[in-house]
Chain A
Amino acid sequence: MTLFSLAKKNIQGNFRHYFVYFISMVFSMVIYFTFVSLQYSEEIQDSIELSDTMSFMFMISSFMLLIFVSTFIFYSNSFFTRRRKKELGLYSLLGLKKKTIGKLLFYENLVMGLIALVVGIIVGSLLSKLFSLILIRLMGSAAEVDFGISFLAIAQTSAVFIVIIMITSIQGYRLIYRFKLIELFQAEKQEEQMPKASFLSSLAGVVLLVISYWLIVRPFPDVLDLEYLLKNYGVSLLLLVTGTHLFFRSVTFYLLKLLQTNKRLFYKGTNLINISQLIYRIRGNARTFTVIALLSAATIGFFTATYTGYYGNKESARGLVPFSYNHLSKNEQQDEKVRNIIQKDKVHAIESALDIPVVPVKGELSFDLDYELNPVKLIPESTYNQAAKALDREFNATLSGNEAVVIQPRLTEYAPSDFIGENIKLNLPQDTMRLKFVDMFKGSVLPFDYPDFYIVISDQLFAEITEYMPAKTYKVYEVENETATKETAKTLNKLLSEDFQVSSTFYTQYKQGKEGNALNLFIFGFLGLVFLAATGSILYFKQLTEANEVRYNYEILRNIGVSKSKIRNSIKKQILFVFSLPLVIGIVHSIVILIFITNFISNLIGSSILIPIITAITAFILIYAIYYLMTAHTYNKIVNR
């Protein structure tokens, strides 16, 4: 028998095991290739206005993906070879030279890897079209997607995976040299001892988790610098990882042990079997659980954050640039030119046009406010009311004497109670003037320009002040269907740059936000799906390996009179526990991460976080549920025949 025919017979005989390994390789390659070809896709790059940021995002993500994918391949490789140790031992026993066995494994892995690569690239080319379609849809661009194949993507994918395949092949070659014959034979039945519960490490697990949660959610200090960020979140991440691991290793173990002491519960039906089986298995699964919980947490957390950003983009753009077009009036000529451009765009008819006079003055508050005040911008009451009406807002100011209303500075979370009853002293050229705050409104009428501190005062007072202080006039326009004013916005942007810190046109602000958010959403969604699929598969395979190991136990149970349906229920309960434990911890972690994220970008996200988080968690649970059903079904088929 030649080496080749032996290898061929091997593959035929162990087809199922080979198939699983093969599929996980193909899966990794498809994912990587799809992602890389999106990165290189010209259609996508052309249709986007912030290409630099995009390439950077893609680069970071594809690097993360690469790390993840290679770990996954190494994991399935070791899973695959562990199952074959006995077979290799047998060859050795029958007199095959170590070198020959090594070569056998080397070529086997190499050929399988190369075939997987070809299949992966073919499937990946089809999938990348689908995903680029999704991405372009999300961004709201109208680019055409044709079926061009990116050679750069093929080259990069091939290069990366040939290296990985070579490494796993060499590992295969070395396998036979690494172990003694006796070890190869005992690989499958290493006696497990009942592990001991340690109260101390359980306590440590809980304490570490609590500390890391606290570090993550605590509010920022007054001075926020990079050192604080690195230290605080570096430490909390470290604690979170160790804490999670200890949690699975010791805390759940300890809790299950505690359940065991409750005889009334423990000695009831199949609980006896379920609980002790779980206790036995939990240590071996602790690392897998940790990885899954952390990955789920990161994915749910960041996906929700980006989804919220995407979801709330329109609102957040409206907040930053309330009117469709805005500019500072500099001279008659330019004002006229701008008006003409806007009027020419008949599809987007002008709904309202306003002049907003603003007087910037120096002021001092009667109390400490953690916000840069000067110059304070004054707006007359009637103009504010008109603008609010044009923007369909409900605020309406009726002021008299020295009463004033603050407009909530954007990106802050001040409440009316912070201002009501307090004073501001304005330093005017002639004298000083004291204004009394009677309310705080939400909703500015001009584009964001730091410091964003506007005060609405009565028309009479405003007229008095403008007698000896010049007012700037801003011209603003609100048009129909402002989310589609691409051309006009483009023309105006060229003319009106630098009037504000944000864009002068609503459309540009909106579109940029949408693209950025869509890209983040896509990347996190993509990575999330990959993580989910991979971790789900890892759980699936781990459980099935276990099923093969504990088959004998269930035979005993059937022999002493446990019915098949009872065994099925017991299996379902155990698998449910195995699947829900890391998921629940992952969800709890992700909520903590979300609190951190909302802390970090506060009002930027703006709109409701509830719908995105429910969507993300539901999607997660659904996909996991499918894996759960699949695993329970196959497990039952293995042990309960």
Chain B
Amino acid sequence: MKTILEAKRVKKIYGTRGNVFTALEDIDLSVQEGEFVGIMGPSGAGKSTLLNILATIDEPTSGDITIDSSNITDMSEDTLAAFRHDKLGFIFQDYNLLDTLTVKENIILPLALAKTSVTDIAQRLNAVARRFGIEPILDKYPYQISGGQKQRTAASRAIITNPTLVLADEPTGALDSKSATDLLETLKDLSSNDNATILMVTHDAYAASYSQRILFIKDGKLFTELIKGNKSRKKFFNKILDILAALGGEANDII
């Protein structure tokens, strides 16, 4: 199996001399093609920092990151933009949809930017719209649809370019449980049926239980790893809760 993402000794330090804060310390990470990986950890553990660095939106202080066999740590700003556009798909907690565009236009935006032909655009749009069940709302504007619909729109935009890696930052954070389940089911389906590689940051154990493997981060370091294997989702979910208890459990230990 092909390695899509390879991060070595990634370090991120904020601040200047005298007042430094280490957000990430020597993180090693490897994700294979078709994997659905979750990243969990308490607030301030460095989850979002890690995701932003992998998303090339932020730069690591040191370390190497290779995505689809290209090293992203020494690319220029414009090459990075092109890289983000070609290889990555993003789903954000606050959707990041443009209010001035319809749902349809939001989804096809990356294709339009790449100057894809109109017929190709239509074909791909139909495919993702069907998959996420958003055909009826294609001509609506973001302010006219619900949070769940917005997130499915954002997810459609993320995968319409067939990205090598989909990065999701708390995608269910603002959704009710029904919408969250729908979205997670679709992501899981994407990974198992279409061989899409997904990396999802979440603090929600229920959301994480849909992934195949979970990395736990604490205080900027890799804490542990949990693999679903053949466990049922229910059992996996309980395992996750155990680890979370241990993660945030220091206070309890002292007592």
Residues in chain A within 8 A of chain B (CB atoms): 191-194, 263-264, 266-273, 276-277, 279-280, 553, 556-566
Contacts and interface: CB of A to CB of B under 8 A. Distances in A.
A280 B100 contact: yes
Contact of A561 (B84, B97, B112): B84
A268 B113 CA distance: 6
A560 B85 contact: yes
B68 to A, nearest CB: 14
A267 B143 contact: no
B143 A561 contact: no
Contacts of A276: 98, 100-101, 105
Given A267-B121, A276-B105, A280-B100, A558 B112 contact: no
A295 B112 CA distance: 39
Given A558-B57, A559-B84, 19 more contacts: A193-B141, A194-B100, A263-B118, A267-B111, A267-B116, A267-B118, A269-B113, A273-B101, A276-B98, A280-B100, A553-B99, A557-B98, A560-B96, A560-B109, A560-B110, A560-B157, A561-B83, A566-B81, A566-B113
Given A268-B112, A272-B112, A556 B98 contact: yes
Contacts of A271: 112
Contact of B81 (A264, A270, A272, A561): A561
B115 interface: yes
Interface string B81-100: 11111101010100011111
Nearest to A281: B100
A409 to B, nearest CB: 63
A558 B108 CA distance: 16
B250 interface: no
B78 interface: yes
Contacts of A267: 108, 111-112, 116, 118, 121
B253 interface: no
B81 A194 contact: no
B77 interface: yes
Interface centre among A191, A263, A264, A272 (most CB of B within 10 A): A272
B84 A560 contact: yes
B113 to A, nearest CB: 6
B118 to A, nearest CB: 5
Contacts of B77: 563-564
A94 to B, nearest CB: 29
15 contacts: A267-B111, A267-B121, A272-B108, A273-B101, A276-B101, A553-B99, A553-B100, A556-B98, A559-B84, A559-B92, A560-B90, A561-B110, A562-B113, A564-B77, A566-B113
Nearest to A194: B141
Nearest to A192: B99
A560 B92 CA distance: 11
Given A561-B85, A561-B88, A562-B81, A270 B101 contact: no
A562 B86 CA distance: 10
Contacts of B81: 558, 561-564, 566
A566 B77 CA distance: 12
Interface centre among A264, A272, A560 (most CB of B within 10 A): A560
A559 B143 contact: no
A263 to B, nearest CB: 5
Interface of B: 55, 57, 77-78, 81-86, 88, 90, 92, 96-101, 105, 108-113, 115-116, 118, 121, 141, 143, 157
Contact of B98 (A269, A273, A279): A273
B100 to A, nearest CB: 4
A193 B100 contact: no
B99 A272 contact: no
A270 B110 CA distance: 10
Contacts of A562: 81, 85, 113
A270 B113 CA distance: 6
B112 A559 contact: no
A377 B118 CA distance: 78
Contacts of B141: 193-194
A264 B57 contact: no
A559 B92 CA distance: 10
Given A272-B112, A564-B78, A559 B98 contact: no
Contacts of A280: 100
B115 A269 contact: yes
Contacts of A194: 100, 141
Nearest to B108: A267
A269 B143 contact: no
Contacts of B86: 561
| Top-6 shortest CB links A-B | A561-B85, A561-B84, A563-B81, A556-B96, A267-B112, A276-B100
A271 B96 CA distance: 19
Contacts of B108: 267, 272
A628 B85 CA distance: 30
B205 to A, nearest CB: 27
A152 B141 CA distance: 60
A188 to B, nearest CB: 15
Contacts of B109: 272-273, 560
Contacts of A268: 112, 115
Contacts of A556: 96-98
Contacts of A565: 78
Nearest to A567: B81
A191 B111 contact: no
Nearest to A264: B118
A264 B117 CA distance: 8
A194 B101 CA distance: 9
A553 B101 CA distance: 11
A243 B70 CA distance: 58
A192 B81 CA distance: 30
Contacts of B55: 559
Contact of B143 (A191, A273, A279): A191
Contacts of A564: 77-78, 81
Contacts of B57: 558-559
B105 A272 contact: yes
B45 to A, nearest CB: 22
A548 to B, nearest CB: 15
A566 B113 CA distance: 9
Contacts of A273: 98, 100-101, 109
Contacts of B97: 556
A192 B108 CA distance: 22
A562 to B, nearest CB: 6
A606 B81 CA distance: 61
Nearest to B56: A561
Contacts of A270: 113
Contact of A193 (B111, B112, B143): B143
Contacts of A266: 112
A272 B92 CA distance: 21
Contacts of A553: 98-100
